[in-house]
Amino acid sequence: MRKLLTGNEAIALGAYEAGIHYAAAYPGTPSTEILENLAKYKEEIIAEWAPNEKVAVESALGASIYGARSLAAMKHVGLNVAADPFFSSGYTGVNGGLVLITADDPGLHSSQNEQDNRYYAKFGKVAMVEPSDSQEAKNMVKIAMEISEKFDTPVLMRLTTRVCHSKSLVEVGEREEVPIRPYKKNLGKYYLAPAVAKQLHVKVEERLKKLEEFSNETDLNYVEWNDKKIGIISSGIAFQYAKEVFKDKASYLKLGFTNPLPMDKIKKFAEEVETLYVVEELEPFIEEQVKAAGIDCIGKDKIPNVWELNPEIVEKSLLGKEREVIEYDKSIVVNRPPTLCAGCPHRAFFYELSKRKDTIITGDIGCYTLGGAEPLNAMDTTICMGASISAGHGMERLIDGYDDNKRVVSVIGDSTFFHSGMTSLLDVVYNKSNTITCVLDNRITAMTGHQDHPGTGYTLQGEPTKMANIAEIAKALGIEHVKTVNPLELKELKAAFDWAYSLDEPSVIISRWPCALKRLSEYDKKEFDYKPGKCEVDQEKCIGCKICVNTGCPAIYFDKEAKKSSINAAQCVGCELCMQVCPVKAISEVGE
């Protein structure tokens, strides 16, 4: 039987068939659906959301050492967070197979940078595989598990957005029930004291030589012979692009096992073709090593190393051909930048915060990053997960030292607070800063598609669990001034900001209201007095001041000819922010 699956769905199926016992991840586009699909196999697999990627990798490594086949998944920047255990796992090796999935995001569809994580495999001295479609994604999970156990190494599986989210046919198989390997205490392998690690480094280098031999032998790296005037070395989704452009007018060395590279196989292939191209997305990972081996090739001097690759770019770069495209008047295409949803509780928060003078707002990664966009314009920085509180602290220390009268407000989401904000808040307390930290608690990990986290009261596999309380955590970390507010009440928000600005000690404001798109949990129904409704503009009363438009709500639009505001009933959820800002009370709630 075959199914049409995305790469992420195929990986979950492959992990199930490969007999894995444990999986952990922190949600991050484009990798999120891997764990969501693995969670369905409740009888066979323990699948968990972790507070961050470091914890996910450490948990998976622990399960592997115990003897279980284990998997951890993350988006590319997540591997930065998990880099510490990742590099150490290269030394300890495994017991049960361990596969770490990194989903890179060429084109920055939903990320703060465009890094190429293939270099992590080389730097960490671990094996790497790269599927180029869903069938390979499924197959490679099982192969990667076998490589991991055979060579005693974690295996990095590198995906990109196009493989994660594109669909292709996948042959469905049966699950292989793999017994958990016996656990044996082994200080010489899992105890990374310096004296032990020194000896393990020698073993790592010996392992890399064996892996290169395997790389030259495995069918994961194979040749397709066609016309030998052009030879192409490629991997991942870039191989599909090269095939689409050159078809049978070129020969291909398709690489599925890409660290270490099969240099003997590459040399033999290069000797057989007249002109050698290396087609790869983002950085010249393969090209650099090919050239270092003394093999002439054409790569990044023609193919760009920025943004997502596609067949059109490959064709134009290597053949100088422009594909015919449909011509249209680009001036009439509406520019639709991302924006906070209608009814988003973050909008009211940023609307009120934006009124504050002499304020630096350090932001973070999540839906609320959009608070920095027009018209709210209520953010100064966004760096990485958890950086808002730390960066704000650094600024505050300088502000104190140079007698500046500015205040720093650090804004972070609930899931991100659990991810890596707690340690930053502890730093604020420990180093005696007086920043105002605002946790925008919308009761879910919203931006990646509503995944549970330690504060929602549910596990990934739907079991009720202990609900982490942000206010109690903040107090436990040493914050003495903590206030929880309803962000949809502007007067309540203003009072909270007045209170926090008046303090000369660190404070935490928790802005707590469910995401406008969230299906309310039983906990939410008990806590929040949520009454869905619609708002409407009285055209007779509206004076066309546009203050309601300046909240940035996508449900509100302005008729330039009539000089009046209106509300799209299909989008409005009745949050009433516009009602509170209208100076002439022209907006009211109607119906449900």
Q: Write out the binding residues.
A: 542, 545, 548, 553, 572, 575, 578, 582
Contact between 586 and 542 (Cβ < 8 Å): yes
3-class SS string, 42-101: CCCCEEEECCCHHHHHHHHHHHHHHCCCEEEEEEHHHHHHCHHHHHHHHHHCCCCCEEEE
Residue 588, beta-bridge partner list:
536
Q: What is the DSSP string of 447-475?
A: TTT-B--TTTSB-TTS-B-PPP-HHHHHH
Burial 411-450 (b: 16+ CB within 10 A, else e): bbbbbbbbbbbbebbbebbeeebbbbbbbbbbbbbbbbeb
Q: How far is CA 503 from CA 319, 404, 421, 433, 439, in A?
A: 65, 16, 22, 11, 18
Q: What are the phi and psi torsion angles at 393 (to 5°)?
A: -60, -45
Residue 24's DSSP bridge partners are 48, 72
Contact assessment for residue 389 and residue 412, using Cβ atoms and an 8 Å cutoff: yes
- Asked whether the beta carbons of 223 and 253 are under 8 A apart, the reply is yes
* Bridge partners (DSSP) listed for residue 279: 234
Give DSSP secondary structure letters for 329-397. Answer: -GGGSPP----PPTT-HHHHHHHHHTT-SSEEEEE-SSGGGGGGSTTT---SEE-STTHHHHHHHHHHH
Please state at what angle helix 236-246 crosses helix 311-319, rounded to 10 degrees. 60
Can you name the residues that pair with 537 across neighbouring β-strands?
587
Residue 437: its H or E element: strand 436-441
What 3-state class would DSSP assign to 508?
A: strand
Q: How far is CA 591 from the centre of its chain?
A: 39
Q: Are 257 and 300 in contact (CB under 8 A)?
A: no
Output the known binding site for [4Fe-4S] cluster: 542, 545, 548, 553, 572, 575, 578, 582
Where is 311: in which H helix or E strand? helix 311-319
Q: Which residues pair with 127 in a beta bridge?
A: 155
